[in-house]
Structure 1
Amino acid sequence: MTFRATQERPLKEPSLIFEVFEELRRQGLPLGLTEYLTLATAAEEGHGLESYAQFKRMCRLLWATSTDDFAVIDQAFGTIVDPWLEQEPLVQDTSPETDLPRTPESGTSKKEDRSRKAPLAQGKESVAEDSTLGQAKRVPLGGANPRKSTRSSRSGLHRFVMTPRWPVPLRTLATTWRVLRQPRRQGPAVEWDIEGTVHRLAQTGIFLGPVFRPAQTNQAQLLLLIDQGGSMVPFSPLVAQVTASLRLGGYRGRFTPWYFHDVPHPRVYARPMLVHGRLLPEVLDQQAGGTHLVILSDAGSARGTWERRRLEQTKQALTHIVRRFPNPVWLNPMPKDRWRGTTAEALAKEIPMVSWTARGFRDLVNHLRGMRRLPLTTGQQVSP
């Protein structure tokens, strides 16, 4: 008994994940590295590998946001997966078959059995040769029109190492943020105050028990103005790493992200999708005293452009920021040698700007603490 590869067969080609991802991008689905890593991580944990149908279902759950996306995913599977399934060789069912005992009808049955054994053996040899040739010629990945692939048919060569290599490790960032402290005593009195106990004993002459005081905790707060969309799309994983490092560094619930596109003026937004907008001065005035401010943006250096309109509007925003926050810092994901001739070079003369390196983060935190103020870039103003 034989059967062909169907949608219920286990997924044995991990390279199909990347092939489907590429096909969906060609068909216009907005997928990036984050979406691919999400699917790859789920596959490494064993989700969606039970069958091709489960794999398609997982792609729908992770990547589809509308019925149109469902149709695009179905079309991609019809282009990539279905032709590959049709090229699967026949698989022999190895389950034993029970035959009923037969009684010879005549004396010539033995001769007939001998005459049948020879062609049957030859048929088995030919089937084995055909199956071997079919496995050697089978191409594991195909398109709408199956063609010869330039890649090796060995699935081991289709593995992609997608381990992120961050400019600054997550734990290094978390350790750096812990240095930014504003210790205050707040909350219930749970800490033994030795000096207060001795002082009361000296005043009364009688030991009336220990004196307690509130514990000292870090009350530093941070306001993040994050550039969203456009040239900042490739840096979305880095921005997510910063927010994750703040939570790991003890700032959970004590940092507030607001978003903008290119220029934080006149409005900033409470959501990454740039909805629920409010005027920048209103957001700044609602921050608690002692809050630090950090701007995350490439300032036009990612595309290597200089824009007068962007420069002037950003200067207007910096006027409100400097009036409310004494030590703001601009964090630029692009290296310093890429700032030259762009809007970032001009803005570095208006606000301290650091690059996305371990030293840059240390300088940023020291500047916010007031321990070491970052100088502004000097030089002639950039002209278009």
Structure 2
Amino acid sequence: MRPPLEGLFLHLVRSGFPLSVRDYEDALAALRLGHGTLTRERLHRLCETLWAHSDEERIHLARLFRDLPRPTPEAIRAMTHMRQPEESGPPAAAGTERAKPAGETRQEPAPAPVVEFAAAAEAGGIGLPQAAIPPGLLQPHVLTPRPAVGLRQMIVTWRRFRLARRSGPKVQLDIAATIAEKCRCGTLTEPVLVAERSNLARLLVLFDASPSMAPWRGTGAVVADSLGRSQLGHAAIHYFDNDPAEGLFESARLMRPQSLRDVARQHPACALLVIGDAGAARGRSDRERIRSTRTFAELARDAGWWPIAWLNPMPRPRWAGSSAARIAAIPGIAMFEFTEDGLILAVDHLRGKGRH
């Protein structure tokens, strides 16, 4: 006989759930303690608590429990090795009823009240029709805001951006140079030390905080948080309102404005990552915006912000016919969708490894 929950666990692993053997053992231990037993709903709640860590995983698990057929009584008896209860006394003959004890009266079910109306006016109005929706079409909706890319994935992707150089005090032993010095002099007076390697990659992020980016406003906070944990040599984020050429701001509320020259003086020689819809959210093409963005790309290159990658949270098919399609074609700007894969491609472009 297969262990409990083995089939469900293996199916979830094949579906992409990040589960390990320890997660399965935790579920078995909880079952031994009496959690998730007796009812199907309690088992569902236990599996959701231990194995589902995101809204998508909870929806997938709920769909499995909804679509999984309930076991028949025969299957339950076969799995639990329970015998079918034997009936006490001789079976009653067909067409006969069990004898009632003295004094017992049979209670008839009360008839349901029926209310009839001669006309719709007497009913106080016409009732609203109810749509007959199959249970399989009912799915929960995720109403909580979510970033375009999760915090953990964003931190991991930033750490792909590395420019390893030796800098700082000489504290690391250079074995090859020490052996060479020993062979050359015959005696070793002191080991050869070199500076440790550190990540000197520099990144500047410009985030569009205009009203058209309102659905992704929470993503800006996630980006700022992830940059602080990125282990980059230098990382900073500034904000702009639709057009970065018109000026930058220190906060997402577009307060404390700064000129491009001042920001370039604070963050010189950085790779530049711009995050914004580039006009794709409203779906129209603005010639002035395209011209201004082309001017900004030239100013950014003169300021030492190079290369330039652009992350657009709108899907690529929505770029057509808007300013985003023209901005993506500007020489020196590589535009990607703001997804996990798009973020990796953008970072690879900043590393000089992209094929855009």
Asked whether the two chains share a fold, i.e. TM above 0.5, the reply is: yes
Amino acid in the other structure paired with 1:254: H
Amino acid in the other structure paired with 1:214: A
8 A contact 1:281–1:320 mirrored in 2: no
Where does residue 308 of structure 1 map in the other structure? 287
Evaluate the alpha carbon distance shift between residue 202 and residue 188 of structure 1 in structure 2; reply closer, same or farther with a 3 A threshold.
Answer: same
**Deviation digits for residues 94-120 of structure 1, max 9, x if unmatched?**
xxxxxxxxxxxxxxxxxxxxxxxxxxx
Amino acid in the other structure paired with 2:185: T
Q: Distance in 2 between matches of 1:257 and 1:367?
A: 19
Where does residue 319 of structure 1 map in the other structure? 298
**Alignment equivalent of 1:260, drawn from 240, 260, 263:** 240
How far off is 1:297 after superposition? 0.9
Q: Answer with 256-265 or 165-174: which moved more.
A: 165-174
- Which structure 2 residues correspond to residues 1-384 of structure 1 after superposition, within 5 A? 165-251=146-232, 254-289=234-269, 291-323=270-302, 324-350=304-330, 351-374=333-356
Q: Distance in 2 between matches of 1:225 and 1:340?
A: 23
SS in 1 for 2:279: coil
SS in 2 for 1:217: strand
Q: Distance in 2 between matches of 1:160 and 1:336?
A: 24
Q: Distance in 2 between matches of 1:171 and 1:327?
A: 25
How far off is 1:262 after superposition? 0.6
8 A contact 1:222–1:254 mirrored in 2: yes
Q: Distance in 2 between matches of 1:161 and 1:347?
A: 32
Evaluate the alpha carbon distance shift between residue 262 and residue 166 of structure 1 in structure 2; reply closer, same or farther with a 3 A threshold.
Answer: closer
Evaluate the alpha carbon distance shift between residue 160 and residue 359 of structure 1 in structure 2; reply closer, same or farther with a 3 A threshold.
Answer: closer
SS in 1 for 2:277: coil
Q: Distance in 1 between matches of 2:226 and 2:267?
A: 22
Amino acid in the other structure paired with 1:348: A
8 A contact 2:147–2:216 mirrored in 1: no
Q: Which runs of 5+ in 1 are unaligned?
A: 1-158, 375-384
How far off is 1:209 after superposition? 2.9
Amino acid in the other structure paired with 2:244: P
How far off is 1:164 after superposition? 5.1
Q: Distance in 1 between matches of 2:146 and 2:256?
A: 34
Tell me the TM-score normalised to structure 1 length: 0.52
SS in 2 for 1:352: strand
Q: Distance in 1 between matches of 2:257 and 2:296?
A: 15
SS in 2 for 1:299: coil
How far off is 1:219 after superposition? 1.3
Evaluate the alpha carbon distance shift between residue 293 and residue 192 of structure 1 in structure 2; reply closer, same or farther with a 3 A threshold.
Answer: same
SS in 2 for 1:215: strand
Evaluate the alpha carbon distance shift between residue 162 and residue 208 of structure 1 in structure 2; reply closer, same or farther with a 3 A threshold.
Answer: farther
8 A contact 2:146–2:218 mirrored in 1: no
8 A contact 2:276–2:312 mirrored in 1: yes
Amino acid in the other structure paired with 1:181: R
8 A contact 1:193–1:212 mirrored in 2: yes
Q: Answer with 233-242 or 360-369: which moved more.
A: 233-242
8 A contact 1:265–1:280 mirrored in 2: yes
Tell me the TM-score normalised to structure 2 length: 0.55
Evaluate the alpha carbon distance shift between residue 282 and residue 246 of structure 1 in structure 2; reply closer, same or farther with a 3 A threshold.
Answer: closer
Amino acid in the other structure paired with 1:309: E
Identity %: 35
Q: Distance in 2 between matches of 1:202 and 1:288?
A: 44
SS in 1 for 2:177: helix
How far off is 1:244 after superposition? 2.4
**Deviation digits for residues 121-174 of structure 1, max 9, x if unmatched?**
xxxxxxxxxxxxxxxxxxxxxxxxxxxxxxxxxxxxxx9975555443332222
How far off is 1:292 after superposition? 0.8
Amino acid in the other structure paired with 2:341: R
The structure carrying a bigger helix percent of its residues is 1
Q: Distance in 2 between matches of 1:211 and 1:273?
A: 52
Indicate the RMSD between aligned Cα atoms, in angstroms. 2.3
